[in-house]
Amino acid sequence: MEGCEAVRRAAELARIAFTEDEMARLCREASRIAEYLASVGEAVRGLDVKPLYHVWEEEGGLRDFIADRRVDVASFLPADRIDEEGRVKIPWREVR
């Protein structure tokens, strides 16, 4: 059965034990996935399809998105909890 050897090898490497029924089901599913991927490969054969290396076109798309939502924790603290450089003082980490 196509894909079954890969499933057995992955289970061996991960040190996972499957019953025979579970292994048979996993082998069937791996075979279906392999058939689907082969059909996708056939569908795009001859087309100018470039591989997708990153889901965003430009670097740092997610970071820019997150940067807009940052919260300045220091603004919630009393002034004596902030050091001269603007860092938050943690009581159990303060230099004595």
In this structure, is residue 90 part of a structural domain? no
In this structure, is residue 96 part of a structural domain? no
Quick: pLDDT tens for 6-60: 899 999 999 999 999 999 999 999 999 989 989 988 888 888 877 777 666 655 5
Length of the chain, please? Answer: 96
In this structure, is residue 34 part of a structural domain? yes
Token digits of residue 38: 């082969």
In this structure, is residue 29 part of a structural domain? yes
pTM: 0.47
Using CB atoms within 10 Å of the CB of residue 7, give its burial: 0 to 12 exposed, 13 to 18 middle, 19+ buried.
buried
Distance CA 29, CA 17 (A): 17
Domain that holds residue 34: 1-70
Cβ neighbors of 86 (< 8 A, separation 6 or more) are: 74
In this structure, is residue 89 part of a structural domain? no
In this structure, is residue 76 part of a structural domain? no
Quick: pLDDT tens for 82-94: 888 888 887 765 5
